[in-house]
Amino acid sequence: MSTRPARTRLGASALAVAGVLFALYPATRPWHDEATVDGATRAMSSDWWVASHLFAMIGFILVTLGLLAVRDAVRHTRAERLAFAAVVTGWIGVGLVLPYYGAEDFGLHAVAGKYAAGQPLDLLDLVDTVRYAPAAITTFGIGLIALAVSAIVTAVAIWRSGVLPRLSGILFALGFALFLPQFYTPAAVRVAHGLLIAVGSVWLALALWSAGRTSPAGSRSGAAS
């Protein structure tokens, strides 16, 4: 008995959980004016700062498992190579994004905690140094662009495969294509963006879960039709 349907359903579950985590990320993130010392201290020293960014980091990891499930689902179709390219691009993107998130989460939280405890630090200067170091911001940007490309290629693969519903990858692709631009928008827009990724991820997860009930032979016959 093939284990492929079970792997596909596991990937679908991972993708659904990722969607929920990406919705929680901006919804639970402390929103204060980080251009001021008081606002930066209140936001970054909060335990919710750590938790919310951790939600995003786990979400990125789970998305890569979802991409593997998409590749499994379309393996016997003409879209398999595209899905494989999406997996590789997505892994590269997540690998480049996570170090920046780690610095943003744990590094800035530690610095803000020291400042809140009375350490004589130039908090805003340190925050800018962490966030805008050339290597850090460049790899972060490249990583998010790679993730956007991966999500778009995933949607194209789904569209061409004939195995999954054609529209099931559209919102997923749109959410990750907007991940970089949404950082320059107000908090309400960022919360809405988190919900967009959640809806897109869960929609795709449901499509994958249904595909997980289809046998490999059924996938091949569907690809030939």
Q: What pTM was estimated for this model as a whole?
A: 0.90
Contact assessment for residue 100 and residue 143, using Cβ atoms and an 8 Å cutoff: yes
Distance linking the first and last C-alpha atoms of the chain: 24
Q: Please, what is the Cα angle at 145 between 193 and 201, to 5 degrees? A: 40
Chain segment 57-66, per-residue pLDDT in tens: 999 999 999 9
Q: Tens-of-pLDDT digits for all 225 residues of the chain?
A: 456 688 889 999 999 999 999 999 999 999 999 999 999 999 999 999 999 999 999 999 999 999 999 999 998 899 999 999 999 999 999 999 999 999 999 999 999 999 999 888 899 999 999 999 999 999 999 999 999 999 999 999 999 998 999 999 999 999 999 999 999 999 999 999 999 999 999 999 999 998 866 544 444 434 333
The Cβ of residue 94 has, within 10 Å, a number of other Cβ atoms equal to: 23
Residue with tokens 């494989």: 84
Closest CA to 140 of 185, 176, 100: 100
